[in-house]
Structure 1
């Protein structure tokens, strides 16, 4: 049954390709719609990454405040000679520091992903602009050919 579905999919792909080759305007519309859909999806992804980054920044600030607090506690315990408590506080502080480093790394990764999405959005915008200018050029050529044909007709050359 899987091969039947694969065969049907190939047949439909071939028919669509043939249709688009024989109908360039529809092919252009298809490409434009695909770019628009991709841009919408990338914009959603960009917004989601912004939200994630904001949440990550808040968590990082919370961890930084905890680190500050536990640093003071560790110093107080050392100064008071409570060595066991100081050691446990230092262990907890070390864990918080590791957590902060991990969160910083996660935030950095979000920033990289955000940059990649922005680059993809820019590429799509560039493609759309070049597609539009290509359409403008094609339209100008079409109009020139129409005018030339009209001149030939008026002069009795065709």
Structure 2
């Protein structure tokens, strides 16, 4: 197991390093993770709604049984059968307890549905934020690449001129873009952890 753990840690560190060097891929991976969480949350909501429907059916069925036994209590009392009336009242009371329990369970499921829907909205919002950051990062990369092409095509920064080498400035621009994107990613990860 030690070798497997070491290999796993090595691969994870290499992946983290790769993603740090390619922040746009990290944004893509984060967006994909959020998309999967959205799907899982939608499945959870659907499952909870099915549970809620079942509980509603059980509550309704129990209410009908309570009504039936209540009528039997009245019938037995009217007929002077106190022994049957007492047993019917016991059954009615047991059904009332069961109904209250089912009602509580149904309310719990409703609360979980509300929480799952809130979670879904939060995940959607975070995914939109990540997509916006990915779009910004892509625009910045495209702009930097276009600027580099313009400078290269125009020969503005040639090796024979007195101006600084453009690759140094492009490297610096790329470093700043990477650093800014990583900082934004870290901030988004902190927000997601909350």
TM-score calculated relative to the size of structure 1:
0.86
Question: 2:48, 2:109 within 8 Å by CA — same for their partners in 1?
Answer: yes
Cα deviation, 1:102-149, whole Å, max 9, x if unaligned, reads 111111111111112111111111011111222233334344445555
Q: For structure 1, list consecutive stretches of 5 or more residues without a partner in the other structure.
A: none
Match of residue 48 from structure 2: 49
Q: What secondary structure does 2:80 align onto?
A: coil
Decide which structure has the larger Cα Rg and report it: 2
More displaced 10-residue stretch of structure 1: 6-15 or 102-111: 6-15
Which segment drifts farther, 110-119 or 128-137?
A: 128-137
CA RMSD of aligned residues (A): 2.1
Count of residues in correspondence between the two structures: 157
State the Cα distance separating 1:155 from its structure 2 match.
8.0
TM-score, normalised via structure 2 length: 0.71
Any unmatched runs of 5+ in structure 2? 158-165, 167-194
Matched, 1:12 2:19: no
Partner of 1:69: 68
Cα displacement string for residues 18-51 of structure 1 (whole angstroms, at most 9, x for unaligned residues) = 2211221221221121111111111111111111
Alignment of 1:116-127 (within 5 A): 116-127=115-126
